[in-house]
Amino acid sequence: MTRNSFRPILISAFITLAATATALAQDFQQTYRVGAGASVGIHNVSGNVKVTGYNGDAIIVAGFKEGRDRDLVSVEDRSTAGNVSVHVRYPEHCNCDASIRFEVQVPQAVKYRFDAISSVSGNVEVSGVSGELRARSVSGEVKVKSVSGSVNASSVSGDVEVEEVVGAASAKSTSGNVEAAISRLEGGEKIEFASVSGNVQVRLPSNLDAEIDLSTLSGSLRTDFPITIEEARFGPGRRARGRVGNGSRSLRLSSTSGNVSLLRY
C-alpha cells in the first residue's frame, strides 16, 4: 500500500475522532417540535446561553458541561408536548467548579413565547427569532439582535444591548449600560429603558409617535427629538418631557448615575 493510499484512511479516522469528541463534550441534546405560540424556557445557573434562529422546523437544545465538578451538575428537562422547559440543578450547598453552556437553535419563521432565556451567572445572547422574548442575567451581559416581536431584556450586573428590533422593546440594568436600537416600532405598549448606574442610549425611527419622559439624576441629557430639556430648580438632575406625533405610546428613559440619549435613526 502506497503512502498516498493511507491519506483517505487517516482523514476518515480524524473525522470520526472529532465527531466522537464533540458527542462526548455535548452532555445534553434534545430536539423539540412544538407549534407557534409554544413557550420556550432555558433556565441556567452558571454559564452562557445562546439562542439563534435558523432555517429549520425544530427547536434544538444542546448543553455542554464544563469545570472540574461537571459531573455534579444535572440538566432537568421539564418539557411537555406544548412547551420547552430546560433547567439546571446543582447539589445543595455545593461550592462547585462547574458550569453549563447552552446553544439553542430555533426556527426563525415561527413565533414563540420565550418566557425565560436566563442565566444567574453568565451572558445571554439571542438573535434571529420571532415572538415574545424575556432575556435576563443576574451577573452577565444580555445581547438581543434581529428580533421581530416584543423584547424585555435585563441584567442586574452587566450591560444590556438590544438592536435591530421590529416591534417593541424594554431594557434595564442595575449596574451597566443600556443601548437599544429599534428599527420599526409596532403596537402601543409602554416601552422603557433604564439604568441605575450606567448610560442609557436609545435610537428610534424619526417618525416616533410617543409621550416622552427622559430623566437623569447625575448625568447629561441629549435628544434629537423636539422636546425641551430642563435643569432641576433645586438640586441635581435634568428632565425632558414632551409629545411627539399623537403620543400613542409611553416612552421613558432614565438613569440615576449616567448619561441619557434619545437619538434618531
Amino acid letter at 65? K
Question: Alpha-carbon torsion 217, 220, 225, 227, what sign?
Answer: positive
Mean pLDDT of all residues in the chain? 90
Residue 105 CA to residue 107 CA, distance in Å, equals 7
Three cell numbers, residue 200: 442609557
- The whole-number pLDDT of residue 93 equals 86
Residue 215 CA to residue 235 CA, distance in Å, equals 14
Our CA dihedral for 55, 117, 141, 61, rounded to 10 degrees, sits at -50
pTM over 0.75: yes
Amino acid letter at 246? N
Report the phi/psi class of residue 212: left, alpha or beta, with left for phi > 0 and alpha for psi in -120 to 50.
beta
How is the chain split into domains, by residue range?
174-265
What's the N-to-C CA distance of the chain in angstroms? Answer: 66
Three cell numbers, residue 87: 433547567
Three-state secondary structure readout of the chain? CCHHHHHHHHHHHHHHHHHHHHHHHEEEEEEECCCCCCEEEEEEEECCEEEEEECCCCEEEEEEEECCCHHHCEEEECCECCEEEEEEECCCCCCCCCEEEEEEEEECCCEEEEEEEEEEECCEEEECCEEEEEEEEEECCEEEEEEEEEEEEEEEECCEEEEEEEEEEEEEEEECCEEEEEEEECCCCCEEEEEEECCEEEEECCCCCEEEEEEEEECCEEECCCCEEEECCCCCCEEEEEEECCCCCEEEEEEEECCEEEEEC
Residue 10 has phi, psi (to 5 degrees) of: -65, -40
Amino acid letter at 98? A
Percent above pLDDT 70 for the chain: 89
Of the pLDDT bands very low, low, confident and very high (cuts 50, 70, 90), residue 1 is: low
Report pLDDT digits (tens) over 146-197: 999 999 999 999 999 999 999 999 999 999 999 999 999 988 888 999 999 9
Report pLDDT digits (tens) over 37-94: 999 999 999 999 999 999 999 999 999 999 999 999 999 999 999 899 999 999 998 8
Residue (of 49, 41, 47) closest to 121 by Cα position:
47
Contact 231, 238 (CB under 8 A): yes
